[in-house]
């Protein structure tokens, strides 16, 4: 399938993103480690830390757009009740040794009750959501008061050197490696999808309008990735 022609919007984006992740699901974990040079494990750890979950945490945590379930596995290993929700059945099916509760669904329409979820975590999905504002509204609705959300995604580094290296890596190396190991079209789309990411001020403003408190954006590894964080009062 050709995902490269433009940056789709609305239902067209939902359909193409779903198709794309169904297509690449089988090799997603391998490509993810290769593309991030193994750093994704560290980034996930830091993102999870931002949720400040105590060791005996008894509320449910939602791994939103969980894919093959990397965050879910860590949460289950911490004995936390975990729901993993994703748009792509292929990604859900390709999660090895899943012990979370996998649900096929859309972040924009969570099949969950108001005030029922202790925390929401998400990895590399912000730019894939069809409508980030609706996702944030839904996350706010399902979180219990005091509940936190932390969404990890790629970013543009600040330093000129790192920015140049990052651009070469994402625009040249990643599509090349994707072509060898998985699907060239999909891995050409991924760097372009950075265009969907919100600016810090945009995220903070939306979060504030929705009712979140303490919305912030944190950069990791010199801005290679970023975490969008917010807390429901
Ligand atoms: C790059 S993958 C990340 C998977 C996993 N979170 C991780 O950290 O490896 C993005 C995931 O977002 C899912 N996704 C995209 N749009 C979505 C939506 N609107 N609702 C729920 N999941 C969505 C895709 O199906 C895909 O599994």
- For 140-158, write each residue's pLDDT tens digit: 999 999 999 999 999 999 8
Rg of the chain (C-alpha set): 17
For the record, the structure tokens of 216 come out as 């912030």
Measured between alpha carbons, how far is residue 224 from residues 8, 33, 89, 152, 219 in Å? 24, 15, 29, 11, 7
Quick one: pLDDT band at residue 183, thresholds 50, 70, 90? confident
CB 68 within 8 A of CB 94: yes
Q: Give the alpha-carbon dihedral of 150, 54, 70, 151, to 10 degrees.
A: 0
Select from 11, 67, 71 the residue to mutate for testing ligand 1; criterion: most ligand atoms less than 8 Å from CB. Answer: 67
Residues at CB less than 6 angstroms from ligand 1: 17, 21, 32, 65-67, 70, 86-88, 91, 106-108, 123-125, 128-130
- Per the prediction, the chain carries an average pLDDT of 94
- Residue 182: the pLDDT is 87
Number of domains in the chain: 1
Q: pLDDT tens for residues 73-91?
A: 999 999 999 999 999 999 9
Ligand 1 centroid vs 128 CA: distance in angstroms? 7
Beta bridge partners of 218: 227
- Report the CATH number that the domain containing residue 227 is assigned in CATH: 3.40.50.150
Residues contacting residue 39 through CB under 8 Å, at least 6 positions apart: 221, 224
Burial of 149 (0-12, 13-18, 19+ CB in 10 A): buried
CA distance linking residue 155 with residue 169, whole number of Å: 13
Residue 47 is assigned to a structural domain of this protein: yes
Residue 133 is assigned to a structural domain of this protein: yes
Residue 57 is assigned to a structural domain of this protein: yes
Please count the CA atoms within 13 angstroms of the CA of 73 that sit on its side-chain side.
13
Instruction: Decide if pLDDT at 9 tops 90.
Output: yes
Residue 66 is assigned to a structural domain of this protein: yes
What's the rounded mean pLDDT across residues 164-174? Answer: 92
Q: pLDDT tens for residues 29-58?
A: 999 889 999 999 999 999 999 999 998 999
CB 106 within 8 A of CB 132: no
Q: pLDDT tens for residues 98-123?
A: 888 899 999 999 999 999 999 999 99
Residue 2 is assigned to a structural domain of this protein: no
Closest CA to 85 of 99, 103, 108, 61: 103
Residue 177 is assigned to a structural domain of this protein: yes
Residue 3 is assigned to a structural domain of this protein: no
CA 162, chain centre distance (Å): 22
Select from 19, 41, 82, 86 the residue to mutate for testing ligand 1; criterion: most ligand atoms less than 8 Å from CB. Answer: 86
Select from 128, 149, 196 the residue to mutate for testing ligand 1; criterion: most ligand atoms less than 8 Å from CB. Answer: 128
| Ligand 1, atom 7: closest residue by C-alpha | 123
Residue 5 is assigned to a structural domain of this protein: no
Residues contacting residue 106 through CB under 8 Å, at least 6 positions apart: 14, 87, 130
* Helix (H/G/I), strand (E/B), else coil: 114: coil
Measured between alpha carbons, how far is residue 189 from residues 7, 25, 71, 101, 170 in Å? 8, 15, 24, 29, 10
| Ligand 1, atom 1: closest residue by C-alpha | 124
Domain assignment of residue 110, given as a range: 10-232
Ligand 1 centroid vs 171 CA: distance in angstroms? 21
């Amino acid at each position: 399938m050709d995902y490269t022609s433009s940056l789709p919007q609305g239902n067209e984006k939902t359909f193409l993103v779903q198709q794309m992740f169904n297509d690449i699901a089988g090799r997603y974990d391998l490509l993810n480690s290769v593309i991030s040079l193994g750093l994704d494990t560290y980034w996930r750890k830091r993102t999870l830390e931002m949720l400040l979950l105590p060791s005996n945490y008894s509320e449910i945590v939602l791994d939103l757009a969980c894919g093959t379930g990397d965050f879910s596995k860590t949460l289950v290993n911490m004995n936390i009740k975990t729901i993993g929700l994703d748009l792509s059945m292929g990604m859900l099916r390709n999660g090895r040794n899943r012990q979370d509760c996998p649900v096929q669904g859309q972040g924009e329409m969570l099949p969950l009750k108001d005030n029922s979820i202790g925390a929401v975590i998400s990895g590399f999905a912000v730019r894939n959501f069809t409508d980030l504002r609706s996702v944030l509204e839904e996350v706010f609705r399902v979180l219990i008061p005091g509940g936190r959300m932390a969404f990890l995604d790629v970013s543009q580094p600040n330093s000129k050197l790192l920015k140049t290296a990052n651009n070469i890596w994402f625009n040249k190396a990643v599509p090349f490696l994707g072509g060898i190991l998985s699907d060239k079209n999909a891995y050409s789309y991924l760097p372009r999808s950075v265009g969907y990411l919100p600016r810090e001020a945009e995220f903070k403003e939306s979060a504030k309008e929705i009712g979140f408190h303490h919305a912030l954006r944190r950069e990791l590894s010199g801005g290679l990735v970023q975490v969008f964080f917010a807390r429901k009062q």
